[in-house]
Amino acid sequence: MTASKKTTISLFLLVLVLFISSLKYGAVKLSLSTLFVGEASALQEYVFWQLRLPRSLAGIGVGCLLAVCGAALQGLFRNPLVEPGLIGVTTGASAAAVLVISFGSWLSLSAILGGLLLPLAAFMGALLVSFFIYKLSQSAGKSQIALLILAGVAVNAIFGALTGFVLNYSSDAALRSFTFWAMGDLSGANWLQVAIILPLAIAILTYLSRNAADLDALSLGEQAAFHLGVDVQRISIHIILLTALGIGAAVAFFGAIGFVGLVVPHMVRKIYGARNAVIIPISALLGAGLLMAADLVARLIILPAELPIGIVTSLIGGPFFLWLLIQNKKKLA
């Protein structure tokens, strides 16, 4: 058995252990054996079926979405430093969602679109930013990382200011809710959200896995990919649409959870190499595991209260991103 196969099996077992742990531990500790033999109390059954299980499944779906979308964007832009939050995609989705939460009822949109309004708005916000960043960063068939980072900083600043302006006119209760939501939160996960997030994650993962060879070709540049028979325009638009849809849905339901899309694909590349046929499915597995681990830390570190999960992922991802920058600086020196 090769080292990569052993690593994959170990990773799968780790994710399984994290999933079981996420079902058991929290403010109320559960015994799974007691639950499944029918000896649990009504409170324990409620916590398991209505709180823990949908939360854990949502963590798997969101972790998978963030990781594979990050891997796809890194492949599209041909740079391992790209991350949905860094280039403004997450902020765009967040700002659109906040606008809808604050003003959607004034425009009678909630009555027309119902529960689809929030995820649709987040998707549109992520989509607009994705197309803008992609077009702006292109120069002579290549994505310029300096333009990419600077555009991301500008977009984050603009949408951050827009969000702050909206929150300035919100009630104290709404402000607290917005603040917690903006930092990411899986505690409110329900079965409807799971029924949307999991199939969406599977669909995006399946599409990207089937088109992994096209992403490999894009890593050589758009002209080289075109000469290899890749429909560059089609695959680029599809990736932007799918990542915007995935990030938009994740942000709409669970808030802005940063750095998963940066940390996970980069770690996978370090272990498995640069083939997207391997990077994408392994990123999905590692992303699910990382988010469940972060959620466990968020719910256990200050019992009985909880931290927003975005704080935990940022504490992991921030130093990791600085390390990446230092490594790239050494290579360019």
Domains identified in the chain and CATH numbers: 3-307 (1.10.3470.10)
Find, among 310, 301, 326, 328, the residue nearest to 26 by Cα.
301
CA quadruple 59, 300, 86, 248: dihedral positive or negative?
Answer: positive
Six-digit token string for 268: 């996978």
The CA dihedral of 278, 53, 311, 117, to the nearest 10 degrees, is 90
Instruction: Identify whether the C-beta of residue 52 lies closer than 8 Å to the C-beta of residue 23.
Output: yes
pLDDT tens column, 135-187: 777 665 555 666 777 788 888 889 888 888 887 876 676 677 677 777 888 98
Q: What is the pLDDT of residue 331?
A: 60
> Within 13 A of 52's CA, how many CA atoms are on the CB side?
25
3-state secondary structure of 301: coil
Most confident of 49-58, 94-103, 249-258, 263-272: 49-58
pLDDT at 83: 80
| Whole-number pLDDT of residue 105 | 59
Q: Could you tell me the pLDDT band of residue 57, with boundaries at 50, 70 and 90?
A: very high
Beta strand 138-139 with 142-143 is antiparallel
Kind and range of the H or E run holding 142? strand 142-143
Helix (H) or strand (E) holding 111: helix 109-113
The pLDDT assigned to 59 comes to: 95
